[in-house]
Structure 1
Amino acid sequence: MTPLDYEYLQKLLKDRSGLMLSADKRYLLESRLLPLARKIGVPGISELVQKMKTGPDSLIHDVVEAMTTNETFFFRDKTPFDHFKDSVIPDLIKARAGRKSLRIWCAAASTGQEPYSLAMILKDMSAQLAGWRIEIIATDLSPEVLEKSRSGLYTQFEVQRGLPIQLLVKHFKQVGAMWQLNPDTRAMVQYRQFNLLQDFAPLGKFDVIFCRNVLIYFDQPTKTDIFNRLMKANEPDGYLFLGAAETVVGLTDSYRVCPKRRGVYLPNPAAARAPAAAPQFAGGLKTGTASGR
């Protein structure tokens, strides 16, 4: 792979998914793309790049798909889900008592463990939420992982990662060597293909946004732009959840830290009232991003 090949792939991946590859990530690119090169019958990355420049768009899609990270598991990091159950939802039940509806967005939802974790929490709070309209919208860049998500079908290894045994017994049934989430819990989540580089306005407003373990793959200007647009998609008294290694500090004034709730952020009303420049969007394919969590 020549330096020009690497530069071409760096730009394509940033434009299509937001993924930033630094100069020391050649090994990652080669490990992910060499199997794809061999699959289509070319010996290396340089030949793959040539085919990308002259071949069908589907090959570019396959390259972006190969480079995305879909690491996720049920109740990942646990603490944010405790905050969601023990304080955020009770606060929103009081604040939304008049309309009795909640909208939740899981961005870069990968294979579905995060939105289904939220669905199980809300299912188990059905007494408090009787008569409420609950929407969980889960989006991702990859149609392949969205298809797996919709099936709600997981291996023994996947259900052992973070899922308490009592929830496994309550919300899943065994299907051969796999475990499938019950239809009523699966039905609580709507999956859509969507790109975080796109305009969020068509998705509407959300009381809670989970955008966890994905922005770490973006450069600082892209992160700042996404935070500013997330705030506009968040209800003024809503909540944003980020990953354990992520923060808004030093990146944007659109959100402020939520006291005593690690990983939870609140829209900043002062920033919301300030005039904002028109967002800059990169050209893109679909949703989520380079991480699935």
Structure 2
Amino acid sequence: MTELDFDFLRVLLQRRSGLFLSIEKRYLVESRLGMLCRRRGIAGITALVVQLRTSPASDLEAAVIEAMTTNETLFFRDRMPFDLFRDVVLPEKLTANAESRTLRIWCAAVSTGQEAYSLAMLLDEVADRFAGWTIEILGTDISVEVLDRARQGLYSQFEVQRGLPIQLLLKHFRQEGDKWRLSERIRDMVKLRQHNLLEPNHQLGQFDVIFCRNVLIYFDVPTKARVMAALAERLARNGAFILGAAETVIGITTTLVPDPQHRGIYRDAASSPQARRPTFPTPAETSSAFSSRKIARP
């Protein structure tokens, strides 16, 4: 791969996906796109670049973005955001949205679905509290390939061992050979669709809760600011915005500010902070995701 090839790919990936590649990531480009070339019978990365130059916005370009996207995820990743969702966000929404009886949740960059399905399992544990409500959980990702995997809800032994409590594994999964299939009931709670965070999102509507975790770390500062501004526009007044443990809004946007009472939650700066206390406990082993269906009382 020549310097010109690498520069072209860096610009393409940042423009189309927001992914910022430093010079130190050249080895990653060579490794991942080298495999793509072999699968497609392309002579090498230089030949790949030639095809990309002559056929912009092609399926090959989409395949390059797919190959370079990092899809690391696991059930109940980092735990604390899910505890906040269960102990802080759900109780406050139970009160704040009592009249509309609706709850909308967006998991941006959902990858193979573990985050959204973790939230769905949490909601399932408190379904009686939300009987008659319309609960919507949306999971989006730039990668069509990982969304297809998420829809299948089929995970390896390694994947279900990473963060998923044994009680939830036995309750919501069935074994199929050496893999585990998530129940159709939990999968039906989550709607999955392809969406690029760099593209307009107004068609998605407003959300009471937005999870956008461990994706902004791959963007440069201007791209982070652009994405954060777009996401903040989708957050309903007094909604909850949750980032990854290594991410922050400080220096990126003034539209969202840290919740002074609950570390890890960010709020619309225009909304006045309110005291928020948990009103119902759930076992530490529980977790849940996004849905667009009525939750019936068990």
Q: What's the TM-score, normalizing by structure 1?
A: 0.89
**2:268 is equivalent to residue 250 of structure 1:** no
Deviation at 1:43? 4.0
Which amino acid counterpart does residue 41 of structure 2 have in structure 1? Answer: G
Q: CA shift at 1:260, angstroms? A: 4.2
Contact in 1 for aligned 2:75/2:115 (Cα 8 Å): yes
- Kindly report which structure 2 residues correspond to 1:68-217, keeping only aligned pairs within 5 A, or say none: 68-217=69-218
- Once structures 1 and 2 are overlaid, which stretch shifts more, 232-241 or 259-268? 259-268
Partner of 2:32: 32
Q: Using the alignment, how far apart are the partners of 1:28 and 1:45 within structure 2?
A: 12
CA shift at 1:251, angstroms? Answer: 1.1
Query: The residue matched to 2:127 in structure 1 has which SS?
Result: coil
Which runs of no fewer than 5 residues in structure 2 stay unpaired? 273-298
Asked if the contact 1:80/1:262 (under 8 Å) is kept, the reply is no
Q: Residue 76 of structure 2 aligns to a residue in which SS?
A: coil
Where 1:61 maps in the other structure, the secondary structure is helix
Partner of residue 285, structure 2:
none
- C-alpha distance in 1 between matches for 2:71 and 2:33: 16
Alpha carbons 1:112, 1:149 under 8 Å: kept: yes
Return structure 1 stretches of 4+ with deviation > 6 angstroms.
Answer: none
Amino acid aligned to 1:17? S
- The one-letter amino acid paired with 2:44 is G
Unaligned runs of 5+ in 1: 272-293
Give the aligned partner of residue 8 of structure 1: 8
Q: Which secondary structure does the structure 1 equivalent of 2:174 belong to?
A: strand
Structure 1 residue 27, shift from structure 2 partner = 1.0
Q: In the aligned structure 2, how far is the partner of 1:262 from the partner of 1:28? A: 34
Pairwise CA distance, 1:49: 1.0
Deviation at residue 133 of structure 1 after TM alignment: 0.7
Task: State how far apart, in whole Å, the 2-side matches of 1:105 and 1:74 are.
Answer: 16
The one-letter amino acid of 2:243's match is L
Q: What SS is found at the alignment partner of 1:34?
A: helix
Whether the 8 Å CA contact 2:238–2:271 is kept in 1: the answer is no
Q: Mapping of 1:218-233 within 5 angstroms?
A: 218-233=219-234
Deviation at 1:52? 2.1
| Residues paired across the two proteins, number | 271
How far apart are the structure 2 equivalents of 1:263 and 1:69? Answer: 23
> Is it true that 1:47 corresponds to 2:30 in the alignment?
no
Structure 1 letter corresponding to 2:269: N
TM-align CA RMSD: 1.4
2:241 is aligned with 1:240: yes
User: Letter of the aligned partner of 1:244 in structure 2?
Assistant: A
Equivalent residues of 1:79, 1:262 under 8 A apart: no
Contact 1:136 1:188 (8 Å CA) reproduced: yes
Q: How far apart, CA to CA, are the structure 2 residues paired with 1:268 and 1:187?
A: 34
Q: Find the aligned partners of 2:149 and 2:210 in 1 and give their Cα distance.
A: 22
